[in-house]
Structure 1
């Protein structure tokens, strides 16, 4: 019964939307935070489960903002907001993904969300070597739950809570009344509020019809540390905080004395950007990897779909050379997975000279050598050329790429100009 209640509660509090980003959406800003990283900051093994996080850096900033988004968005949908957070406050931003959201596997619950939150904090302090007094916690809506829980355990440079709530039970009490007593409590924010020792900025609109303003009022009264409550009369639950500087930017800048700088910059370890740490179910397919090789390989595929033809003149270097190290074909056509893209152990100089004078059929040129081709050891090579071989019989259909739109707005120009892989 408890598991059933937990599953229903997870669906209500964390209704994960369709993923709005892929493994290729933020190539230099999507980091893979290990859930069980070593205490000494060494490189964790690849097999460790990883949490996708968005890391936006700002040169020589003193502060890092650990951001927890609302339950109606994932890292892709909150990317623009995080980007503006970084630029307005001139601070690094590390946004944490929830289980079941985006590329993060699992089911969201109070326990699993806190596991991701603690993993991200450990990554910031250990792997990024960032001092905890240089970290600010930012939680919005359901994200104020893990934010308050972390702030009750550690002293940070500051805490920003946007549309916070008292507890899960109080959220349900506003909707279902007495039945809320049967709900499992994941975030007892009112109980944890007095334990926060960091400066706290609360922002809650009086026109919020999702989480009543009384939640922020009671939380504000329970906080014993330095605090400030901003309560705009016309602000609703989903008001864009960046449209009006008086909602977030100016209060936070004055309350926390932002921005501030240091003489050393944040260094991101290379292993954190390694996509092989992504969960296997979200890793790119071989087709995607082949597409990344660029136009040359795809144009070769078009070339192989045509009938074998002759050409006169010097043999040109095949695009396969850049991908697989050899432009020669195997003795069987079409090649199989066991023997596909092959490299000759040696090439007879006389044959090379002769080939520059006479034209050969691309389909039979490999037969002139007396030495049989040696199968490649690189696992991507047979898969790549096997796919190209099948192009002789099947029409290559490129996956349709949908416009990169988030929240009705296109991505920033930095991410709008992506490499064109269409043919």
Structure 2
């Protein structure tokens, strides 16, 4: 059976939540922007200006090395993108879809540190309604946003799919799975993934309802690239069972990283996080 009680089923069928309502309640918490994009006199180039809340940890030289721009989505929104050249001889570029309560400004220091340590360049973007991206947050916009980011990394920088690693964290796993189910890439990293919106809101849900949002569990089986799943065993936002289910459903998984004792927002603080990513890139991808 579906695992929901009779009263819960009655409630759902009498007034089912629309996907956007589930999405808004569970996922979208855009912060006040922590950065601005300032155009030069020609209007063709932007510079990246961070506020104190971005907590930038590096020098002006690293900040100047980050290229920022905006690109338009099929939904008519303009999303802000950044490309951080972290490693001069990097083979891979990571297309990173971040979590729900941060923007590019807050993530920029993390991207520099991560890319430098695992010898990868980082391309990232803000979802519609986040940072300086226009529009409103919605599930449909999420998919349009990553499509626009994908087009930019392919055309603006000429990076081929076999050199792109898709990385999604928390809500960022939703557009990552959607894109990975449609394109073959070098690899996919799913960090604290969710099965679907209903399964987060109603943990006993065993199937995907027609009004469910973010049905990643039904898409992951179409991913043909190698997948690394990362999840904290004490995740208080997206239960560890979601990571396990995603791992079991993906056709080409590598050894997952289950971080014992980690919650939703501190997996990166554990030493095995960086070590696993290094091995994944240097060894697992060579085998696959």
Q: TM-score, normalised by structure 1?
A: 0.53
Contact 1:17 1:73 in 2 (8 A): yes
- The question of 1:51 aligning with 2:79 is answered yes
Unaligned ranges ≥5, structure 1: 38-47, 261-423
Q: d(CA) in 1 for partners of 2:64 and 2:195?
A: 38
Aligned partner of 2:107 among 70, 73, 78: 78
Distance 1:182-1:197 versus aligned 2 partners, 3 A rule: closer
Q: Which has the higher contact order (CA 8 A, sep 6+)?
A: 2
1:245 match: 271
**Counterparts of 1:23-38 in structure 2 under 5 Å?**
23=37, 24-25=49-50, 29-35=66-72
Distance (whole Å) between structure 1 residues aligned to residue 33 and residue 274 of structure 2: 29
**What is the CA–CA distance in structure 2 between the aligned matches of 1:201 and 1:192, rounded to whole Å?**
16
Cα pair 1:68 1:95 within 8 Å, conserved: yes
Equivalent position of 2:247 in the other structure: 220
Structure whose CA Rg is larger: 1
Question: How far apart in 2 are the matches of 1:15 and 1:142?
Answer: 10
Looking at structure 2, the residues matched to 149 and 18 of structure 1 have their Cα atoms a distance apart, in angstroms, of: 27
Cα deviation digits, residues 249-281 of structure 1 (max 9, x gap): 111211221799xxxxxxxxxxxxxxxxxxxxx
Judging changes above 3 Å, is the alpha-carbon distance between structure 1 residues 187 and 88 closer, same or farther for their aligned structure 2 residues? Answer: same
1:73, distance to aligned residue in structure 2 (A): 0.7
SS of the residue corresponding to residue 166 of structure 1 reads coil
Q: Output one character per residue of 1:3-31: Cα deviation in whole Å (capped at 9) or x when no partner.
A: 98625632542021111112223565252
Give runs of aligned pairs for residues 299-378 of structure 1, distance below 5 A: none
For 1:181 and 1:249, the matched residues in 2 are separated by: 34
Matched, 1:105 2:131: no
Secondary structure of the structure 2 residue equivalent to 1:257: helix
- Distance (whole Å) between structure 1 residues aligned to residue 217 and residue 256 of structure 2: 16
Task: Return the offset for 1:181.
Answer: 8.2
Alignment match, 1:371: none
Structure-1 separation of matches of 2:253 and 2:284: 19
Q: What secondary structure, in the 3-state scheme, does the structure 2 residue paired with 1:251 have? A: helix
Distance 2:249 2:267 in 1: 27
> Are 1:172 and 2:201 matched, yes or no?
yes
Higher strand share: 2
Instruction: Give yes or no for the alignment of 1:150 onto 2:179.
Output: yes
SS at match of 1:78: helix
Q: Secondary structure at the match of 1:53?
A: strand
* d(CA) in 2 for partners of 1:56, 1:14: 25
CA 1:255–1:229: 2 relative to 1, 3 Å: same
Deviation per residue, 1:158-209 (Å, 9 max, x gap): 11111111111111113xx77x988843321111111111111111111111
1:193 aligns with 2:210: no
**Residues 1:27 and 1:106: Cα distance change in structure 2 (over 3 Å):** farther
Shift of 1:91: 1.0
Q: 1:142 to 1:256 in 2, by over 3 A?
A: same
Instruction: Please say if residues 33 and 123 of structure 1, whose CA atoms lie closer than 8 Å, have aligned partners that are also in contact.
Output: no
Kindly indicate whether residue 98 of structure 2 is the aligned counterpart of residue 69 of structure 1: yes
CA distance in 2, matches of 1:99, 1:185: 21
Which of 218, 223, 233 is the matching residue for 1:206?
233
Q: Tell me which residue corresponds to 1:391.
A: none
Once the 2 structures are TM-superposed, how far is the Cα of residue 84 of structure 1 from its aligned partner?
Answer: 1.3
Query: RMSD of the TM alignment (CA)?
Result: 2.7
- Cα gap change, 1:149 to 1:4, in 2 (>3 Å): closer
